[in-house]
Copies of this chain bind each other. A is one copy, B any other.
Amino acid sequence: MSEAAQNSDGSAPKKAARQTEQLSIRRRSPLQHTCTQPHECPKPMRMKILAQVPLFAGLSELALDGIDHRMVSLSYAEGDRLYSAGDPANYLYVVAAGQVKTLQPALNGNDSILDILAPGEFLGGLTVLGRPVYGETAMALVTTCALRIGTDAFREVLLEYPEIALRALDDVTALLQEARSDTSQRATSTVAQRVATTLLQLAGKFGQHGGSGDGTLIQLPLSRADLAAMTGSTPESVSRVMSQLRKDGVVDTGRRWTSILDHNKLTAIAAAEE
A158 at the interface (CB under 8 A from B): yes
Among candidates B129, B163, B180, residue contacting A179 with C-beta atoms closer than 8 Å: B180
Closest to A231 in B: B187
A30 at the interface (CB under 8 A from B): no
Which size bracket describes the interface of A in this complex? 35 or more
With a cutoff of 8 Å between Cβ atoms, the chain B residues found around residue A233 in the complex are: 187
Bound-state Cα–Cα, A162 to B165, Å = 8
Asked whether A104 and B170 contact (CB < 8 A) given A159-B163, A162-B159, the answer is no
Asked whether A127 and B176 contact (CB < 8 A) given A107-B271, A188-B110, the answer is yes
Within 8 A of B (CB), among A228-251: 231-233
Nearest-Cβ distance from residue A249 to partner chain B, whole angstroms: 26
A interface vs B, CB < 8 Å? 104, 106-108, 110, 112, 114, 126-131, 135-136, 155, 158-159, 162-163, 165-166, 168-170, 172-177, 179-184, 186-188, 231-233, 271-272
